[in-house]
Amino acid sequence: MLIETAVTAGAGALICLDRVAVQLMVSRPVVAGPLMGLILGDALTGLVTGALLELLWIDRIPVGSHVPPHDTFVAVLATAGAVLTAPSGAPPPRELIALAVLLFAPAAWLGQRMEILLRQWNERWLGRALEDARAGDPARLSRRHLSALAGYFAASLFCLTAGMLCGVPLLRLVYVSLPPAALRVLAYAYSLLPLIGVGVALNTVKRRGTVPVFCGVFLLLALALEFL
User: Phi and psi at residue 87, in whole multiples of 5°?
Assistant: -55, 145
Q: Where are the domains of the chain?
A: 2-227
Q: φ and ψ at 112, to 5 degrees? A: -60, -45
Judge whether residue 220 has pLDDT over 70: no
pLDDT at 179: 92
Residues with Cβ < 8 Å from 141, sequence gap 6 or more?
Answer: 129, 132, 133
Q: How would residue 155 be classed by pLDDT, with cut points 50, 70 and 90?
A: very high
Q: Write phi, then psi, for 136 (nearest 5 degrees).
A: 70, 40
What band does 172 get if pLDDT is binned at 50, 70 and 90? very high
Residue type, position 75, single letter? A
- Closest Cα partner for 83 from 17, 151, 164, 142? 164
Q: What angle do CA 10, 166, 157 make, to 5 degrees?
A: 20
Instruction: State how far the Cα of 8 lies from the Cα of 124, in Å rounded to an integer.
Output: 31
Which residue type occupies 114? M
How far apart CA 85 and CA 68 sit, in angstroms, is 29
CB neighbour class for 90 (10 Å; exposed up to 12, middle 13-18, buried from 19): exposed
Each residue's pLDDT tens digit, 99-136: 999 999 999 999 999 999 988 887 777 666 666 666 66
The pLDDT value recorded for residue 200 is 65
State the pLDDT confidence band at 83, using cuts at 50, 70 and 90: very high
85 versus 137: the higher-pLDDT residue is 85
Question: Quick check: 67 pLDDT over 50?
Answer: yes
> What's the whole-number mean pLDDT along residues 48-59?
83
Segment of 52-66, 122-136, 152-166 carrying the highest mean pLDDT: 152-166
Mean pLDDT of 66-74: 90
For residue 228, pLDDT beyond 60: no
Task: Supply the mean pLDDT for the chain.
Answer: 82
Helices 211-227 and 29-40 cross at an angle (nearest 10°) of 50
In 3D, which of 36, 152, 199 has the Cα closest to residue 104? 36
Q: How many CB atoms lie within 10 A of CB 72?
A: 31
Q: In Å, how far are 1, 11, 80 from 6, measured between CA atoms?
A: 9, 8, 12
